[in-house]
Amino acid sequence: MTITERVVPVVDRRGATKSVALFFSVVLLAVGVLGFVPGATAHLDQIQFLGDASGAMLFGVFQVSILLNLIHVLLGVAGIFASRAGLASVVHLILGGIVLLAICAYGVMILPNTSIDVFAVNGADGWLHLVLGLGMLVSGLYGQRHLPMDQERPVVPPLVE
């Protein structure tokens, strides 16, 4: 036998992208839900729907509002559903990363303790949104490069035959 075969393991990058999307989604969902849990959130009785008047602090560090918690919960739930398909995972990672980076940029640009501080974000929130947003965006862009688009597109029947 002169010909030898070498078996090279195939890496399913779609599975990895889906797992990463699920990871970020669970983190976002947990952060959003814990923002409503007494004990995890100090001064929960002072939580506001929006604005810097919210005195609620997740883990005593991150200022939270009902709006910010709802955004985290919605991103988390959407990501859990999106993590079932490769293309949806990529889209969720990219769009979710952009949303979180936009919240981070908003927190940097606004003046704290002013009427335009809609999300009730502080410095710790900014760092959290920066890390999560960059992580999601980079993961989504990396996952997009390794996604065979022709296998992910749904088959649409022709309208007229």
The answer to whether the CB of 138 falls within 8 A of the CB of 24 is: no
Is the pLDDT assigned to residue 140 strictly greater than 90?
Answer: no
The side-by-side arrangement of strands in the sheet containing 57-58 is 41-42, 57-58, 62-63
What whole-number distance in Å separates Cα of residue 147 and Cα of residue 12? 10
pLDDT band at 148 (very low <50, low <70, confident <90, very high): low
What secondary structure does DSSP assign to 27-89, as a single string? HHHHHHHHTTSBTTEETGGG--SSSTT---EETTTEE--HHHHHHHHHHHHHHHHHTTSHHHH
Which of the pair, 110 or 146, is modelled with greater confidence?
110
What whole-number distance in Å separates Cα of residue 19 and Cα of residue 25? 10
Q: Residue 80 has what pLDDT?
A: 92
Structural domain includes residue 160: no
Number of domains in the chain: 1
SS3 13: helix
Structural domain includes residue 158: no
pLDDT band at 11 (very low <50, low <70, confident <90, very high): very low
Structural domain includes residue 26: yes
What secondary structure does DSSP assign to 106-144, as a single string? HHHHSPTTSTT--S---HHHHHHHHHHHHHHHHHHHHHH
Q: Residue 154 has what pLDDT?
A: 46
Tens of pLDDT, residue by residue over 16-41, are 788 888 999 999 999 999 989 998 88
Structural domain includes residue 154: no
Is the pLDDT assigned to residue 9 strictly greater than 60?
Answer: no
Structural domain includes residue 153: no
Structural domain includes residue 156: no
Q: Residue 142 has what pLDDT?
A: 83
Q: Residue 113 has what pLDDT?
A: 60
Is the pLDDT assigned to residue 13 strictly greater than 70?
Answer: no
Mean pLDDT of 107-121: 73
Which of the pair, 135 or 148, is modelled with greater confidence?
135
Which of the pair, 78 or 2, is modelled with greater confidence?
78
How many CB atoms neighbour CB 36 within 10 A? 17
Per mean pLDDT, which range of 53-57, 98-102, 104-108, 153-157 is the poorest?
Answer: 153-157
In which domain, by residue range, is 38 found? 13-145
Structural domain includes residue 55: yes
Q: Residue 84 has what pLDDT?
A: 85
Structural domain includes residue 37: yes
